[in-house]
Amino acid sequence: MPIIQVTLIEGRSKEMKKALVRKLTDAAEEAIHAPRQSIRVILNEVPPEHFGVAGITKDEPT
């Protein structure tokens, strides 16, 4: 049972998240021939102040 975990900054629409789950499922099904029913996708949303790149949190102006 493949489990795909994605961590992303919160704020995307419900439709965008549904599309991401659908496309990740499609990709796993095609790439590793996993049965669609066995594929799990977990989206972990974090606030921008909890996500940093190059020492700067994403809530800070760039």
Q: What is the pLDDT along the chain (62 residues), one digit of tens a residue?
A: 999 999 999 999 999 999 999 999 999 999 999 999 999 999 999 999 999 999 999 999 87
Domain that holds residue 45: 3-57
**Is residue 41 included in any domain, yes or no?**
yes
Q: How many domains does the chain have?
A: 1
Nearest to 41 by CA among 57, 55, 27, 54: 27
Pick the catalytic residue from 2, 47, 48, 61.
2
**Is residue 62 included in any domain, yes or no?**
no
The dihedral over CA atoms of 36, 20, 53, 5, expressed in degrees to the nearest 10, equals: -20
pLDDT of residue 10: 97
**Is residue 14 included in any domain, yes or no?**
yes
The structure tokens listed for 53 are 């790149």
**Is residue 8 included in any domain, yes or no?**
yes
> Running DSSP on this structure, what letter comes out for residue 10?
S
Q: What is the pTM of this model?
A: 0.87
pLDDT of residue 61: 83
Tally the C-alpha atoms within 13 A of residue 26's C-alpha that lie toward its C-beta: 6
**Is residue 31 included in any domain, yes or no?**
yes
Q: Active site includes 2?
A: yes
Containing H/E element for 19?
Answer: helix 14-32
**Is residue 39 included in any domain, yes or no?**
yes
